Amino acid sequence: MMNQSKPTIVWFQAITCNGNTHSLLSSNSNRFELFLNSFNLIYHPSLTINNSLEYILENQKEIDFLLVEGSISSNEFIFSISNDSSKNLLEKLALRSKYIIAVGSCASFGGIHAKFTQNDDICGIKEALENNNLQTLIHPIINLSGCPVHPEWIFQTLFSLKTFGKIDLDEVGRPKELYSTLAHHGCTRNEYFEWKVEGNFGQKEGCLFYNQGCRGPMTHSSCNKILWNEISSKTRVGMPCIGCTETDFPRNNMLETKKNMGIPQEVPLGISKRAYLSISGVAKTFKIDRLHKKLME
Amino acid sequence: MKMSVGNMYNYFSSKEELAKFAIKYSTNILAEELREVNNMDITSKKKIYLFVKKYLENVQKSPEIIEYFLRVYLSNREVFKQGCEGFLCVGEFVTEVMILLDDGAQKKEFREQEFFPAFGMIMGCLGGFAFLSGENVLDKDLLSYSDAVAENIYRALKYDESV
Protein backbone atom coordinates (compact mmCIF):
# COMPACT_ATOMS: atom_id res chain seq x y z
CA MET A 1 0.00 0.00 0.00
CA MET A 2 2.96 2.32 0.46
CA ASN A 3 3.82 4.08 -2.75
CA GLN A 4 4.96 7.67 -2.60
CA SER A 5 4.11 8.49 -6.23
CA LYS A 6 0.40 7.98 -5.75
CA PRO A 7 -1.94 10.45 -4.03
CA THR A 8 -2.01 9.82 -0.30
CA ILE A 9 -5.19 8.98 1.58
CA VAL A 10 -5.73 9.16 5.32
CA TRP A 11 -8.96 7.62 6.57
CA PHE A 12 -9.77 9.17 9.94
CA GLN A 13 -12.47 7.64 12.11
CA ALA A 14 -14.32 9.77 14.65
CA ILE A 15 -17.66 8.92 16.28
CA THR A 16 -18.84 6.10 14.06
CA CYS A 17 -20.28 2.61 13.89
CA ASN A 18 -17.70 1.70 11.21
CA GLY A 19 -20.51 1.17 8.73
CA ASN A 20 -18.75 3.08 5.98
CA THR A 21 -15.61 1.03 6.48
CA HIS A 22 -17.72 -2.11 6.17
CA SER A 23 -19.22 -0.68 3.01
CA LEU A 24 -15.77 0.08 1.58
CA LEU A 25 -14.60 -3.44 2.33
CA SER A 26 -17.71 -4.85 0.63
CA SER A 27 -16.91 -3.15 -2.64
CA ASN A 28 -16.32 -4.95 -5.88
CA SER A 29 -12.93 -6.63 -5.50
CA ASN A 30 -11.65 -5.42 -8.88
CA ARG A 31 -12.62 -1.86 -8.06
CA PHE A 32 -11.05 -2.10 -4.62
CA GLU A 33 -7.84 -3.43 -6.15
CA LEU A 34 -7.83 -0.58 -8.67
CA PHE A 35 -8.37 1.85 -5.80
CA LEU A 36 -5.43 0.42 -3.84
CA ASN A 37 -3.26 0.49 -6.95
CA SER A 38 -4.18 4.08 -7.73
CA PHE A 39 -3.92 5.66 -4.28
CA ASN A 40 -1.60 5.38 -1.37
CA LEU A 41 -3.77 4.51 1.64
CA ILE A 42 -1.31 5.43 4.34
CA TYR A 43 -3.69 5.17 7.29
CA HIS A 44 -6.93 3.42 8.12
CA PRO A 45 -7.57 2.37 11.74
CA SER A 46 -9.36 -0.84 10.76
CA LEU A 47 -6.79 -2.08 8.26
CA THR A 48 -3.36 -3.53 8.84
CA ILE A 49 -1.15 -0.66 7.86
CA ASN A 50 2.34 0.20 9.08
CA ASN A 51 1.39 3.68 10.31
CA SER A 52 -0.37 4.73 13.45
CA LEU A 53 -2.41 7.92 13.71
CA GLU A 54 0.32 9.37 15.96
CA TYR A 55 2.90 8.65 13.29
CA ILE A 56 0.79 10.37 10.65
CA LEU A 57 0.29 13.41 12.88
CA GLU A 58 4.00 13.66 13.62
CA ASN A 59 5.46 12.85 10.21
CA GLN A 60 2.98 13.33 7.40
CA LYS A 61 3.27 16.99 6.47
CA GLU A 62 0.95 16.77 3.48
CA ILE A 63 -2.17 14.68 2.88
CA ASP A 64 -3.79 14.58 -0.55
CA PHE A 65 -7.13 13.14 0.50
CA LEU A 66 -8.42 13.19 4.06
CA LEU A 67 -11.43 10.89 4.33
CA VAL A 68 -13.39 11.24 7.55
CA GLU A 69 -15.85 8.69 8.86
CA GLY A 70 -18.07 9.63 11.80
CA SER A 71 -19.26 12.78 13.46
CA ILE A 72 -17.07 15.19 15.39
CA SER A 73 -17.11 16.46 18.96
CA SER A 74 -14.82 18.68 21.00
CA ASN A 75 -15.91 16.85 24.14
CA GLU A 76 -13.25 14.33 25.16
CA PHE A 77 -15.63 12.78 27.67
CA ILE A 78 -17.99 11.86 24.84
CA PHE A 79 -15.29 10.48 22.57
CA SER A 80 -11.51 10.57 22.49
CA ILE A 81 -8.64 9.01 20.57
CA SER A 82 -5.23 8.93 22.28
CA ASN A 83 -6.55 11.32 24.92
CA ASP A 84 -7.49 13.92 22.36
CA SER A 85 -10.88 14.97 21.07
CA SER A 86 -12.01 14.10 17.57
CA LYS A 87 -12.30 17.82 16.81
CA ASN A 88 -8.67 18.54 17.73
CA LEU A 89 -7.43 15.59 15.74
CA LEU A 90 -9.57 16.53 12.74
CA GLU A 91 -8.20 20.06 12.80
CA LYS A 92 -4.61 18.83 12.90
CA LEU A 93 -5.21 16.59 9.90
CA ALA A 94 -7.35 19.10 7.99
CA LEU A 95 -4.68 21.79 8.19
CA ARG A 96 -2.36 19.68 6.01
CA SER A 97 -4.94 18.25 3.58
CA LYS A 98 -5.68 19.19 -0.04
CA TYR A 99 -9.08 17.53 -0.20
CA ILE A 100 -11.41 16.65 2.65
CA ILE A 101 -14.17 14.12 2.06
CA ALA A 102 -16.88 13.29 4.60
CA VAL A 103 -17.62 9.61 4.23
CA GLY A 104 -21.16 8.83 5.36
CA SER A 105 -23.98 10.83 6.90
CA CYS A 106 -22.39 11.25 10.35
CA ALA A 107 -19.29 12.94 8.95
CA SER A 108 -21.41 14.91 6.49
CA PHE A 109 -24.17 16.25 8.70
CA GLY A 110 -23.69 14.84 12.21
CA GLY A 111 -26.00 11.86 11.71
CA ILE A 112 -27.54 9.99 14.60
CA HIS A 113 -24.91 11.21 17.09
CA ALA A 114 -25.95 14.80 16.54
CA LYS A 115 -29.48 13.87 17.66
CA PHE A 116 -28.38 13.19 21.23
CA THR A 117 -29.67 16.05 23.29
CA GLN A 118 -27.10 15.52 26.08
CA ASN A 119 -24.37 17.02 23.94
CA ASP A 120 -24.95 19.83 21.51
CA ASP A 121 -21.52 20.06 19.92
CA ILE A 122 -21.59 16.84 17.89
CA CYS A 123 -21.65 17.76 14.24
CA GLY A 124 -20.41 17.01 10.76
CA ILE A 125 -16.91 17.97 9.64
CA LYS A 126 -17.86 21.09 7.70
CA GLU A 127 -19.42 22.61 10.79
CA ALA A 128 -16.54 21.40 12.97
CA LEU A 129 -13.98 23.10 10.72
CA GLU A 130 -15.86 26.30 9.93
CA ASN A 131 -13.61 28.48 12.11
CA ASN A 132 -10.38 27.10 10.70
CA ASN A 133 -8.38 28.75 7.97
CA LEU A 134 -7.68 25.71 5.83
CA GLN A 135 -4.95 27.13 3.58
CA THR A 136 -3.87 23.82 2.09
CA LEU A 137 -7.39 22.93 1.02
CA ILE A 138 -7.82 23.33 -2.76
CA HIS A 139 -11.46 22.24 -2.99
CA PRO A 140 -14.63 22.75 -0.93
CA ILE A 141 -15.28 19.96 1.58
CA ILE A 142 -17.15 17.11 -0.11
CA ASN A 143 -20.03 15.35 1.61
CA LEU A 144 -20.59 11.75 0.59
CA SER A 145 -23.71 11.24 2.66
CA GLY A 146 -25.41 7.90 3.14
CA CYS A 147 -25.81 5.40 5.94
CA PRO A 148 -23.58 3.90 4.83
CA VAL A 149 -22.13 5.52 1.75
CA HIS A 150 -22.01 3.31 -1.34
CA PRO A 151 -18.38 2.21 -1.89
CA GLU A 152 -18.60 3.09 -5.56
CA TRP A 153 -19.49 6.68 -4.64
CA ILE A 154 -16.20 6.89 -2.73
CA PHE A 155 -14.24 5.48 -5.65
CA GLN A 156 -15.94 7.64 -8.28
CA THR A 157 -15.32 10.76 -6.23
CA LEU A 158 -11.67 9.94 -5.60
CA PHE A 159 -10.99 9.03 -9.23
CA SER A 160 -12.76 12.17 -10.47
CA LEU A 161 -10.67 14.34 -8.15
CA LYS A 162 -7.47 12.49 -9.03
CA THR A 163 -8.13 12.92 -12.75
CA PHE A 164 -9.85 16.31 -12.99
CA GLY A 165 -8.95 17.99 -9.71
CA LYS A 166 -12.52 19.09 -9.00
CA ILE A 167 -16.08 17.83 -8.84
CA ASP A 168 -19.38 19.75 -9.02
CA LEU A 169 -21.24 19.87 -5.73
CA ASP A 170 -24.86 20.55 -4.83
CA GLU A 171 -25.96 23.07 -2.19
CA VAL A 172 -25.10 20.74 0.69
CA GLY A 173 -21.72 19.72 -0.67
CA ARG A 174 -22.61 16.41 -2.34
CA PRO A 175 -21.26 15.53 -5.81
CA LYS A 176 -23.96 16.27 -8.36
CA GLU A 177 -22.94 13.29 -10.43
CA LEU A 178 -24.00 11.00 -7.60
CA TYR A 179 -26.73 12.94 -5.82
CA SER A 180 -28.61 14.88 -8.49
CA THR A 181 -31.11 12.08 -9.06
CA LEU A 182 -33.51 10.59 -6.55
CA ALA A 183 -33.57 7.11 -5.02
CA HIS A 184 -36.91 6.87 -6.84
CA HIS A 185 -35.11 6.92 -10.19
CA GLY A 186 -34.53 3.36 -11.25
CA CYS A 187 -36.79 1.92 -8.57
CA THR A 188 -38.35 -1.26 -9.90
CA ARG A 189 -41.60 -0.40 -8.10
CA ASN A 190 -42.30 2.73 -10.12
CA GLU A 191 -45.28 1.22 -11.92
CA TYR A 192 -46.91 0.58 -8.53
CA PHE A 193 -46.14 4.17 -7.56
CA GLU A 194 -47.74 5.51 -10.74
CA TRP A 195 -50.96 3.59 -10.16
CA LYS A 196 -50.97 4.13 -6.39
CA VAL A 197 -50.82 0.46 -5.48
CA GLU A 198 -49.64 0.06 -1.90
CA GLY A 199 -47.10 -2.53 -0.84
CA ASN A 200 -45.93 -4.16 2.36
CA PHE A 201 -42.50 -4.49 3.93
CA GLY A 202 -40.43 -7.30 2.45
CA GLN A 203 -42.81 -8.04 -0.40
CA LYS A 204 -41.92 -7.96 -4.08
CA GLU A 205 -45.11 -6.14 -5.05
CA GLY A 206 -46.46 -2.67 -4.39
CA CYS A 207 -45.08 0.77 -3.68
CA LEU A 208 -43.62 1.47 -0.24
CA PHE A 209 -44.34 5.23 -0.37
CA TYR A 210 -47.95 5.11 0.81
CA ASN A 211 -47.67 3.28 4.13
CA GLN A 212 -44.10 2.11 4.70
CA GLY A 213 -42.44 5.53 4.85
CA CYS A 214 -40.40 5.23 1.64
CA ARG A 215 -38.49 8.48 0.97
CA GLY A 216 -37.36 7.50 -2.54
CA PRO A 217 -39.27 10.31 -4.28
CA MET A 218 -37.67 12.96 -2.08
CA THR A 219 -34.17 11.60 -1.44
CA HIS A 220 -31.13 12.55 -3.51
CA SER A 221 -29.07 9.44 -4.15
CA SER A 222 -28.17 7.02 -6.91
CA CYS A 223 -29.06 3.87 -4.93
CA ASN A 224 -31.25 2.54 -7.72
CA LYS A 225 -28.79 3.50 -10.46
CA ILE A 226 -25.55 2.29 -8.91
CA LEU A 227 -26.82 -0.87 -7.27
CA TRP A 228 -25.61 -2.25 -3.96
CA ASN A 229 -23.38 -5.29 -4.34
CA GLU A 230 -24.08 -4.53 -8.01
CA ILE A 231 -27.39 -6.38 -7.86
CA SER A 232 -29.89 -4.75 -5.54
CA SER A 233 -31.10 -1.86 -3.39
CA LYS A 234 -33.29 -1.37 -0.33
CA THR A 235 -36.44 -0.72 -2.32
CA ARG A 236 -35.83 -3.67 -4.61
CA VAL A 237 -35.97 -6.08 -1.68
CA GLY A 238 -38.98 -4.47 -0.02
CA MET A 239 -37.26 -2.13 2.43
CA PRO A 240 -38.36 1.50 2.11
CA CYS A 241 -35.77 4.15 1.39
CA ILE A 242 -35.21 5.94 4.71
CA GLY A 243 -33.67 9.06 3.20
CA CYS A 244 -30.23 8.43 4.67
CA THR A 245 -28.42 10.77 2.28
CA GLU A 246 -30.37 13.86 3.38
CA THR A 247 -29.39 16.40 6.02
CA ASP A 248 -32.28 15.55 8.37
CA PHE A 249 -31.39 11.85 8.66
CA PRO A 250 -32.23 10.03 10.89
CA ARG A 251 -35.83 11.08 11.47
CA ASN A 252 -38.40 9.60 13.86
CA ASN A 253 -40.77 6.81 12.77
CA MET A 254 -38.87 6.17 9.58
CA LEU A 255 -40.80 3.04 8.63
CA GLU A 256 -44.19 4.67 8.40
CA THR A 257 -45.63 7.31 6.13
CA LYS A 258 -46.77 10.38 8.01
CA LYS A 259 -50.29 11.08 6.82
CA ASN A 260 -52.99 13.61 7.57
CA MET A 261 -56.53 12.40 6.91
CA GLY A 262 -55.02 9.54 4.93
CA ILE A 263 -53.10 11.97 2.71
CA PRO A 264 -49.26 11.77 2.70
CA GLN A 265 -47.85 14.79 4.51
CA GLU A 266 -44.92 15.01 2.12
CA VAL A 267 -45.26 14.54 -1.61
CA PRO A 268 -42.57 13.85 -4.23
CA LEU A 269 -39.90 16.51 -4.47
CA GLY A 270 -40.81 19.65 -6.40
CA ILE A 271 -44.43 18.64 -6.99
CA SER A 272 -47.18 20.74 -5.44
CA LYS A 273 -49.55 18.89 -3.17
CA ARG A 274 -52.48 20.02 -5.32
CA ALA A 275 -50.86 18.56 -8.46
CA TYR A 276 -49.94 15.35 -6.66
CA LEU A 277 -53.43 14.85 -5.24
CA SER A 278 -55.04 15.52 -8.62
CA ILE A 279 -52.91 12.89 -10.33
CA SER A 280 -53.35 10.44 -7.44
CA GLY A 281 -57.13 10.75 -7.53
CA VAL A 282 -57.20 9.97 -11.22
CA ALA A 283 -54.75 7.07 -10.93
CA LYS A 284 -56.67 5.52 -8.06
CA THR A 285 -59.82 5.55 -10.16
CA PHE A 286 -58.44 2.78 -12.31
CA LYS A 287 -57.78 -0.62 -10.86
CA ILE A 288 -55.09 -2.41 -12.83
CA ASP A 289 -55.68 -6.08 -12.03
CA ARG A 290 -52.15 -7.13 -12.96
CA LEU A 291 -50.69 -4.80 -10.32
CA HIS A 292 -52.89 -6.24 -7.59
CA LYS A 293 -51.72 -9.80 -8.14
CA LYS A 294 -48.66 -11.52 -6.72
CA LEU A 295 -45.83 -11.59 -9.22
CA MET A 296 -45.26 -15.28 -8.56
CA GLU A 297 -48.15 -17.37 -7.28
CA MET B 1 -80.43 28.70 -24.57
CA LYS B 2 -80.79 30.02 -28.14
CA MET B 3 -79.65 26.85 -29.85
CA SER B 4 -81.49 24.00 -31.50
CA VAL B 5 -81.20 20.58 -29.89
CA GLY B 6 -79.57 19.22 -33.03
CA ASN B 7 -76.92 21.92 -32.98
CA MET B 8 -75.72 20.57 -29.61
CA TYR B 9 -74.33 17.55 -31.42
CA ASN B 10 -71.97 19.78 -33.36
CA TYR B 11 -70.22 20.28 -30.03
CA PHE B 12 -70.84 17.00 -28.20
CA SER B 13 -70.66 13.64 -29.91
CA SER B 14 -73.33 12.06 -27.72
CA LYS B 15 -75.68 12.71 -24.80
CA GLU B 16 -73.17 11.00 -22.56
CA GLU B 17 -70.43 13.43 -23.62
CA LEU B 18 -72.74 16.35 -22.94
CA ALA B 19 -73.61 14.91 -19.54
CA LYS B 20 -69.92 14.48 -18.68
CA PHE B 21 -69.08 18.03 -19.72
CA ALA B 22 -71.99 19.34 -17.65
CA ILE B 23 -70.80 17.57 -14.50
CA LYS B 24 -67.22 18.75 -15.01
CA TYR B 25 -68.49 22.28 -15.53
CA SER B 26 -70.69 22.29 -12.44
CA THR B 27 -68.15 20.74 -10.06
CA ASN B 28 -65.38 22.98 -11.36
CA ILE B 29 -67.39 26.01 -10.28
CA LEU B 30 -67.31 24.65 -6.72
CA ALA B 31 -63.67 23.59 -7.11
CA GLU B 32 -62.59 27.09 -8.10
CA GLU B 33 -64.45 28.61 -5.17
CA LEU B 34 -62.94 26.15 -2.70
CA ARG B 35 -59.47 26.69 -4.21
CA GLU B 36 -59.87 30.41 -3.62
CA VAL B 37 -60.82 29.71 0.00
CA ASN B 38 -57.98 27.21 0.43
CA ASN B 39 -55.45 29.79 -0.72
CA MET B 40 -56.58 32.30 1.92
CA ASP B 41 -54.44 32.85 4.99
CA ILE B 42 -57.22 32.10 7.48
CA THR B 43 -57.99 29.29 9.93
CA SER B 44 -59.46 26.05 8.68
CA LYS B 45 -62.60 26.80 10.68
CA LYS B 46 -63.08 30.06 8.80
CA LYS B 47 -62.43 28.24 5.53
CA ILE B 48 -65.29 25.86 6.28
CA TYR B 49 -67.64 28.72 7.17
CA LEU B 50 -66.69 30.61 4.02
CA PHE B 51 -66.98 27.64 1.70
CA VAL B 52 -70.34 26.55 3.10
CA LYS B 53 -71.62 30.08 2.53
CA LYS B 54 -70.37 30.11 -1.05
CA TYR B 55 -71.84 26.67 -1.65
CA LEU B 56 -75.28 27.62 -0.35
CA GLU B 57 -75.17 30.81 -2.41
CA ASN B 58 -74.61 28.60 -5.43
CA VAL B 59 -77.52 26.38 -4.44
CA GLN B 60 -79.70 29.47 -4.16
CA LYS B 61 -78.53 31.29 -7.29
CA SER B 62 -77.97 28.36 -9.61
CA PRO B 63 -80.01 25.49 -8.19
CA GLU B 64 -79.89 23.68 -11.52
CA ILE B 65 -76.14 23.11 -11.13
CA ILE B 66 -76.38 21.40 -7.75
CA GLU B 67 -79.60 19.64 -8.74
CA TYR B 68 -77.83 18.26 -11.77
CA PHE B 69 -75.13 16.80 -9.56
CA LEU B 70 -77.60 15.29 -7.10
CA ARG B 71 -80.35 14.14 -9.41
CA VAL B 72 -78.44 13.24 -12.55
CA TYR B 73 -74.80 12.50 -11.74
CA LEU B 74 -75.34 10.54 -8.53
CA SER B 75 -78.49 8.78 -9.73
CA ASN B 76 -77.50 7.77 -13.26
CA ARG B 77 -74.10 6.19 -12.87
CA GLU B 78 -74.54 4.15 -16.05
CA VAL B 79 -74.34 7.37 -18.09
CA PHE B 80 -70.97 8.20 -16.56
CA LYS B 81 -69.36 4.77 -16.44
CA GLN B 82 -67.07 5.40 -19.44
CA GLY B 83 -64.55 8.17 -18.83
CA CYS B 84 -66.28 9.64 -15.81
CA GLU B 85 -65.86 6.86 -13.31
CA GLY B 86 -64.44 7.39 -9.86
CA PHE B 87 -63.03 10.87 -9.44
CA LEU B 88 -62.35 11.48 -13.14
CA CYS B 89 -65.00 14.16 -13.70
CA VAL B 90 -65.04 15.57 -10.19
CA GLY B 91 -61.29 15.34 -9.51
CA GLU B 92 -60.64 19.05 -9.18
CA PHE B 93 -63.25 19.45 -6.47
CA VAL B 94 -62.15 16.32 -4.59
CA THR B 95 -58.57 17.59 -4.72
CA GLU B 96 -59.59 20.86 -3.09
CA VAL B 97 -61.43 18.98 -0.32
CA MET B 98 -58.24 16.96 0.21
CA ILE B 99 -56.21 20.17 0.44
CA LEU B 100 -58.67 21.64 2.97
CA LEU B 101 -58.58 18.52 5.16
CA ASP B 102 -54.84 17.93 4.86
CA ASP B 103 -54.02 21.52 5.72
CA GLY B 104 -56.38 21.53 8.72
CA ALA B 105 -54.95 18.25 10.04
CA GLN B 106 -51.35 19.43 9.59
CA LYS B 107 -52.11 22.56 11.60
CA LYS B 108 -53.85 20.42 14.22
CA GLU B 109 -57.10 22.26 13.68
CA PHE B 110 -58.71 19.00 12.53
CA ARG B 111 -58.35 15.64 14.20
CA GLU B 112 -56.61 12.79 12.46
CA GLN B 113 -58.93 10.39 10.67
CA GLU B 114 -59.12 8.62 7.34
CA PHE B 115 -59.99 10.71 4.32
CA PHE B 116 -63.18 9.07 3.12
CA PRO B 117 -65.19 9.31 6.36
CA ALA B 118 -64.35 13.02 6.53
CA PHE B 119 -65.08 13.55 2.84
CA GLY B 120 -68.37 11.64 3.08
CA MET B 121 -69.46 13.66 6.09
CA ILE B 122 -68.84 16.99 4.32
CA MET B 123 -70.49 15.94 1.08
CA GLY B 124 -73.43 14.33 2.84
CA CYS B 125 -74.05 17.47 4.83
CA LEU B 126 -73.81 19.80 1.84
CA GLY B 127 -75.76 17.51 -0.50
CA GLY B 128 -78.48 17.01 2.09
CA PHE B 129 -79.05 20.71 2.44
CA ALA B 130 -79.21 21.21 -1.33
CA PHE B 131 -81.86 18.46 -1.40
CA LEU B 132 -83.90 20.13 1.36
CA SER B 133 -83.68 23.42 -0.46
CA GLY B 134 -84.73 21.82 -3.76
CA GLU B 135 -87.75 20.23 -2.06
CA ASN B 136 -88.77 23.63 -0.60
CA VAL B 137 -89.15 22.20 2.87
CA LEU B 138 -86.88 24.69 4.67
CA ASP B 139 -88.80 27.17 6.77
CA LYS B 140 -86.16 29.91 6.60
CA ASP B 141 -84.00 31.47 3.93
CA LEU B 142 -81.35 28.98 2.83
CA LEU B 143 -78.41 31.23 3.64
CA SER B 144 -79.57 31.72 7.21
CA TYR B 145 -78.57 28.08 7.83
CA SER B 146 -75.05 28.62 6.57
CA ASP B 147 -73.26 29.10 9.91
CA ALA B 148 -75.15 26.23 11.57
CA VAL B 149 -74.22 23.84 8.76
CA ALA B 150 -70.61 25.03 8.85
CA GLU B 151 -70.50 24.61 12.64
CA ASN B 152 -71.73 21.02 12.33
CA ILE B 153 -69.07 20.22 9.76
CA TYR B 154 -66.37 21.90 11.83
CA ARG B 155 -67.37 20.05 15.02
CA ALA B 156 -67.21 16.75 13.19
CA LEU B 157 -63.68 17.53 12.05
CA LYS B 158 -62.12 19.57 14.81
CA TYR B 159 -59.05 18.54 16.75
CA ASP B 160 -59.81 16.81 20.00
CA GLU B 161 -57.17 17.56 22.60
CA SER B 162 -58.59 15.01 25.03
CA VAL B 163 -57.63 12.11 22.71
pLDDT tens sequence across B41-100: 999 999 999 999 999 999 999 888 888 877 777 777 777 777 777 788 888 999 999 999
Test B88 with A277 for CB contact under 8 angstroms: no
Separation of alpha carbons A251 and A240, rounded Å: 14
Contacts of B101 in chain A (CB under 8 A): 260-261, 263
Q: Which residue of B has its CA nearest to A276?
A: B95
Taking CA atoms, A273 is separated from A217, A218, A280, B37, B119, in Å, by 13, 13, 10, 16, 17
Q: Which residues contact B91 (CB under 8 A, 6 or more apart)?
A: A278, A281, A282
Q: What is the reported pTM? A: 0.87
Q: Distance between CA atoms of B43 and B109, rounded to whole angstroms? A: 8
pLDDT value of residue A4: 52
Q: Which residues of B touch A273 (CB under 8 A)?
A: 99, 102
ipTM of the complex: 0.81
Nearest-angstrom CA–CA distance, A205 and A50: 50
* Residue B37 one-letter amino acid: V
pLDDT at position B1? 62
A115 touches chain B (CB under 8 A): no
Collapse the DSSP code of A86 into the 3-class scheme (helix H, G, I; strand E, B; otherwise coil) and give the result. helix
Taking CA–CA distances from B86, the nearest residue in chain A reads A285
Q: How far is A228 from chain B (nearest CA, A)?
A: 36
Euclidean distance between CA atoms A32 and A29, whole angstroms: 5
**DSSP H helix total and E strand total for chain A:** 10, 9
| Helical residues (DSSP H) of B39-69, grouped into ranges | 44-61, 63-67
Element (H, E) at A84: strand A84-85
Report helix angle B44-61 to B115-134, nearest 10.
Answer: 30
Contact A278 B112 (CB under 8 A): no
Please, which residues 255-284 of chain A have a Cβ atom closer than 8 Å to chain B? 260-263, 265, 273-274, 277-278, 281-282, 284
CA distance B126 to chain A (A): 19
Taking each helix axis as running N to C, give the angle between helix A273-285 and helix B91-106, from 0 to 180 degrees, rounded to the nearest 10. Answer: 130
Rounded mean pLDDT for each run of 10 residues along chain A, 297 residues in total = 76 97 97 97 92 94 97 94 95 97 98 90 96 93 98 98 97 98 97 95 96 97 96 97 98 95 94 92 89 92
CB B111 within 8 A of CB B154: no
Contact (CB, 8 A) for A63 and A55: no
Inter-chain touch B86–A286, beta carbons under 8 Å: yes
Q: Which residue of A has its CA nearest to B101?
A: A261
Q: Return the closest-CA partner of residue B56 out of B89, B88, B22, B33.
A: B33
Q: Which residues of B touch A260 (CB under 8 A)?
A: 101-102, 105-106, 112
Strand, helix or coil for residue A228: strand
Phi, psi of A62 (to 5 degrees): -140, 130
Q: How many CA atoms lie within 13 A of B24 on its CB side?
A: 12
Q: CA angle, B8 as apex, B6 and B12 as ends, to 5°? A: 125
Question: What's the pLDDT at B6?
Answer: 81
Q: What is the largest CA-CA distance in chain A?
A: 69
Q: Which amino acid is at B90?
A: V
How many other C-beta atoms lie within 10 A of the C-beta of residue A31? 16
Chain B residues whose C-beta sits inside 8 Å of any chain A C-beta: 35, 85-88, 91-92, 94-96, 98-99, 101-102, 105-106, 110, 112-116, 118
Q: How far apart are CA A101 and CA A268, in angstroms?
A: 29
Q: Sort strands A63-69 and A8-13 into parallel, antiparallel or unpaired.
A: parallel
The confidence score (pLDDT) of residue B74 equals 76
Cis preceding-peptide flag for B117 (omega within 30 of 0): no
A260, A263, A285: residue with CB nearest B86: A285
Contact B85 A265 (CB under 8 A): no
**Distance between A263 CA and the closest CA of chain B, angstroms:** 7
Residues of A in contact with B35 (CB under 8 A): 274
- Nearest Cα of chain B lies from the Cα of A273 at a distance, in angstroms, of 8
How many other C-beta atoms lie within 10 A of the C-beta of residue A277?
22
Contact yes or no for A284 and B87 at CB 8 A: yes
Q: Would you state the pLDDT for residue A195?
A: 94
Contacts 24+ apart (CB under 8 A), B103-109: B103/B38, B103/B44, B104/B44, B104/B47, B104/B157, B105/A260, B105/A261, B105/A263, B106/A260, B106/A265, B107/B44, B108/B159, B109/B43, B109/B44, B109/B45, B109/B158, B109/B159
Size of interface A-B (CB pairs under 8 A): 56
For residue B102, what is the nearest residue in chain A, using CA coordinates? A260
State whether residue A252 is helix, strand or coil.
Answer: coil
- Which residue in A192, A195, A187 sits closest to A219, CA to CA? A187
Cβ(A207)–Cβ(A189) below 8 Å: yes
A297: distance to nearest CA of chain B, Å?
30
* Cβ <8 Å between B105 and A261: yes
Chain B residue with minimum CA distance to A278: B95
